[in-house]
Structure 1
Amino acid sequence: MSIKSLAGQTIYYGFSNIASKLLNYFLTPLYLELMTQASYGEMSTVYAYIPFLNIVLTYGMETALFRFAKKENSQTVLSTATISLLVTTISFTFLLLLFRGTIINSYVGELSGLAGKPSFYTYIVLIMAFDALTAIPFAQLRLENRPVRYAIIRLANILSTISFNILFLVIIPKLYASGNTWLPEIKSSNQVGYIYLSNMLGSGVTLLLFIPQILKIRWQFDNHLWKQMLTYAVPLIIVGMAGMVNETFDRAWFLPQFLPGNSMLVKKQMIGIYAANYKLAILITMFIQAFKLGAEPFFFKQAEGANPQKVYARIMKLFVVMLCLMFLFVSLYLNIWKIFLRRPEYYPGMQIVPVLLLANMFLGIYYNLTIWFKLTDRTLMGAFITVTTAALAFLLNWWWIPTMGYFGAALATMVCYFVQMSICYALGQKFYPVPYHLPRILTYIITAVLTYYLFSFLNRTLLSPGDVYALKPLPLLVATVFFAAYAWFVLKMEKKEFERIPVLNKILAKL
């Protein structure tokens, strides 16, 4: 598989991922319009917990599938992984529902808003179960290089979820108000439940679309192979769980625990502001996710070829260039992106967006670097890296949130991802050296950050003093000049690299 093939697959994965995220993101203004900050904070807390349990439910089997699947045994690996996830998901779901009351009352009740609402909890558990059951079918499509079908099913998932949201939150309330009282009355107090229900139904549609694919699997279970896969995959649970401490634990636990004051309502409101602004980093996270979907199977297959390290180094450089461009595209135009926040009370949180963009840039580079411990079967080393940074995340959030509020959580996230990336790079160069173009990578990142902060300084002092997020022509013009200058700088630096790409080659010829 060539880099061109990887780029093509990333485009397909990117299209489906970006389209689904953007479509889903358009629901955010609807949620912010209908819900209070506290309710939005409750929902954000719930959705921050879900990734933790998803990691437990899938326990690294997707990556194990890519690691062990070869042409001669791919069907055996696929069926073993599928049967394993099927049995464990059904068992775990049964236990979560069986102890529903204890879990709600003892662990997740007050802050999540689930106390006294067992149906909400059931929807959430089923969302996780359906997502776990579709993990291997999605991985199979990636393994078999079928990004088009992947994109179609992913878009079907999000379109159905959005449709159910609009049905329950917009259409049914209007019909009820016009006299159709046979329909359910959707009050502000139970809107969140219908959002969970919509998500559950969307995940259920995805599972139904995969049923024909699942039924084609040759149902055979190799116990010896399963133990090998499990030995490889279990450390990835630690990797994933510790990684989620940085990604979602700020909303799920750090902010509620460390924000000053005793008012739960105020804490929920602060979490709502933080979560809403967190979503403004959507573009860079979408690209990272799209790249990850295409790159993971690509890296494993590339490892079988000659001198794969050279290919990995080239990919990293191009990847960082795209991350830097996206960082500037979002951070320079925050006065436009703020329209998704709908209400002015969310605007104060926009100060965290550039910090979170930079944090996600470091996270994306880390994902690219993790290939060394996956290829060398040193997944325990990956667990060590993420556990170390998870401990650092606890320390920094405990230190900074009480004095800096949610900005402290954002800053802690950025520092932790930087440390995680740095440790992974240092260990990777020891156990699986890759000749990354470090001077250029650092140049692109530092220049992008300096470009933003220079624009920010000019915006505060000259362009929009007093209201840096005002939608005015002059700041937009200056932002465009800064973005174009950075893009021109990168194109000049990587002229030979981009000449291999026909469209960019034409652009370079005119410069």
Structure 2
Amino acid sequence: MAGIKSLAKDTAIYGLSSIIGRFLNWCLVPLYTQMFPSSEYGIVSYIYAIVALALIILTYGMETGFFRFANHERYKDPMEVYSTSLISLGLSSTAFLALVLIFIKPISTAMHSSLHESYIVMMAIAVACDAFTALPFSYLRFRKRPMRFAFLRLVNIGLNIGLNLFFILICPWLWKQAPGWIAWFYDPDFGIGYIFLANMMTSVINVALLLPELRGFPYRFNPKLWREMLIYSAPLLVLGIAGVMNQTLYSILFPILFPDKSEAMSQLGIYGANLKIAIVMVMFTQAFRFAYEPFIFARSKERGEDKLQSYSDAMKYFVIFAMVIFLAVMFYLDILRHFIAASYFSGLKVVPIVMIAEFFFGIFFNLSLWYKLTDKTAWGMWFSLLGLAITVVVNIILVPRYGYMGCAWASFACYGTMMAVSYIVGQIKYPIRYNVGRLSFYFISAITLWFFSELIAFGHRPWLNMIIRTPFLIGYVLMAMKLEKINIRDLIPHKR
């Protein structure tokens, strides 16, 4: 139970930085859309989509590889694993940046930014820095230092937001009031370039903030270890690429598949806006992941059935908390929907589908421990490729008939299949006694409560709906606490 308490505490701390970060970055979107025309903001969206893919490629699964080999029986010194990984990522990030600078013209043309090569250069620097610093952040997780991890993340986010506000709001005002003060560095025609400049500056400063994690130990490169890490991590690279594609492919396919081409972008916008509401489940899954990877690899060194029971318990508490989040979002959707404009409310029906899909993905991540601990990461690659194939097929079949609802059901089918197949194979390769009956009970109970709350909903009295639904949510939490014998006092740290 002590291990589960530690996991819960770390998840909460990682979750704080993740939730605050995503929320604050989300708050920048209204600023961007207010200050820049859609044609310019489209460039921002497109470049950041490429950035997401580039980051997966440039980290090439080394984060998980580091956790695995830092806890490996054959390698007694975790710092040798860390330094080998750092040198690898440092060289590959530098090579990436050099290639971008050498081939900047064809790259900027391919990315529809031939007149703005500086955008690509700035983001290449940011990506190179972020890929390299991914490992020091993993090192903090390995050393179980969630407070420093969260602090650095929040500083990073605050700096990025502050620079955005400075360049996009304050500088234009100063340009009108006292242009001489900022004429030496500010160009009003640079426009969205300041979004990329703020990102680049933040990433470079982030490297400086992580200097304590980059010194104080001898740098050693172990070629044999490096090759083993690459073999272990290569399937995770494919898994990561497929995962990003599973999350973003709809935006590429939808305009092609939707029959009314003139309406396609509008429908895609409605779907994308409503995904912002469902992002709460994504944030919880990400926070859990930050805490869970070091947890499972640390436990892997233990003997006996206790570690398997810990994995099973972690799954159980993940399901409980995820279902509480699902119910909270659905019960108070009348309030949460005001995060988007009223003209987007027609897409609210995708929120429960997408949230359950992300819940399935969270379970899939929990189940992924079996192939990570047994060094059979190729299985993760095959599961993700299976999910990608399902995403493509379901989008092709459903989008022409049902529009963006087809995108939502494609995510549901993709992650649901990945979850089911991973569980079946995992029970053969690395059996863990998950209490499937209890897990199913928590899931079905939550879905039943949600359906029932919809049946008795008062359409034009949202306040009455919330009054009725709040006892349902409290009852669900109390039921889970009683079944699992959870005492609130046990979760509060006590001074010794």
User: What TM-score do you get using the length of structure 1 for normalisation?
Assistant: 0.88
Residue 220 of structure 1 aligns to a residue whose secondary structure is coil
1:297 aligns with 294
Deviation, 1:102, is 2.1
Change in CA separation of 1:163 and 1:9 when aligned onto 2, cut-off 3 Å: same
1:139 aligns with 138
Query: What is the CA–CA distance in structure 2 between the aligned matches of 1:33 and 1:457, rounded to whole Å?
Result: 39
Q: CA RMSD in A?
A: 2.3
Deviation, 1:40, is 4.9
Q: Which runs of 5+ in 1 are unaligned?
A: 465-470, 505-511
Q: Which amino acid aligns with 2:379?
A: M
Q: Is the 8 A contact 1:160 1:205 kept in 2?
A: no
Residues 346-381 of structure 1 show CA distances to partners (whole Å, capped at 9, x for unaligned) of: 333322222211111111111111000000111111
Q: Is the 8 A contact 1:41 1:275 kept in 2?
A: no
Q: Is the 8 A contact 2:320 2:442 kept in 1?
A: yes
Query: What is the CA–CA distance in structure 2 between the aligned matches of 1:415 and 1:6, rounded to whole Å?
Result: 29
Change in CA separation of 1:301 and 1:156 when aligned onto 2, cut-off 3 Å: same
Q: Is the 8 A contact 2:481 2:487 kept in 1?
A: no
Change in CA separation of 1:35 and 1:409 when aligned onto 2, cut-off 3 Å: farther
Alignment counterpart, residue 78 of structure 2, candidates 52, 74, 77: 74
Q: Is the 8 A contact 2:63 2:134 kept in 1?
A: yes
Change in CA separation of 1:256 and 1:130 when aligned onto 2, cut-off 3 Å: farther
Q: Which amino acid aligns with 1:463?
A: G
2:372 aligns with 374
1:405 aligns with 403
Within-5 A mapping of 1:88-487: 88-106=92-110, 108-109=111-112, 114=113, 116-178=115-177, 180=179, 182-183=182-183, 184=186, 186=188, 191-251=191-251, 253-263=252-262, 267-305=264-302, 306-307=304-305, 308-341=307-340, 343-459=341-457, 462-464=458-460, 472-487=462-477
Residue 221 of structure 2 aligns to a residue whose secondary structure is coil
Change in CA separation of 1:331 and 1:196 when aligned onto 2, cut-off 3 Å: farther
Deviation, 1:406, is 2.2
Q: Which amino acid aligns with 1:484?
A: I
Q: Is the 8 A contact 1:355 1:414 kept in 2?
A: yes
2:55 aligns with 54
Deviation, 1:414, is 1.5
Q: Is the 8 A contact 2:258 2:399 kept in 1?
A: yes
Identity across matched positions, percent = 35
Corresponding pairs, count? 483
Change in CA separation of 1:457 and 1:97 when aligned onto 2, cut-off 3 Å: farther
Deviation, 1:244, is 1.6
Change in CA separation of 1:66 and 1:42 when aligned onto 2, cut-off 3 Å: same
Q: Is the 8 A contact 1:173 1:185 kept in 2?
A: no
Q: Is the 8 A contact 1:37 1:268 kept in 2?
A: no
Q: Which runs of 5+ in 2 are unaligned?
A: none
Query: What is the CA–CA distance in structure 1 between the aligned matches of 2:230 and 2:404, rounded to whole Å?
Result: 38
Change in CA separation of 1:269 and 1:304 when aligned onto 2, cut-off 3 Å: same
Residue 219 of structure 2 aligns to a residue whose secondary structure is coil
Deviation, 1:22, is 2.6
Change in CA separation of 1:414 and 1:96 when aligned onto 2, cut-off 3 Å: farther
Change in CA separation of 1:313 and 1:197 when aligned onto 2, cut-off 3 Å: same
Residues 448-500 of structure 1 show CA distances to partners (whole Å, capped at 9, x for unaligned) of: 223223333443xx433xxxxxx842233233233233323333433x2x138
Pair 1:502-2:494 in alignment:
no
Change in CA separation of 1:426 and 1:317 when aligned onto 2, cut-off 3 Å: same
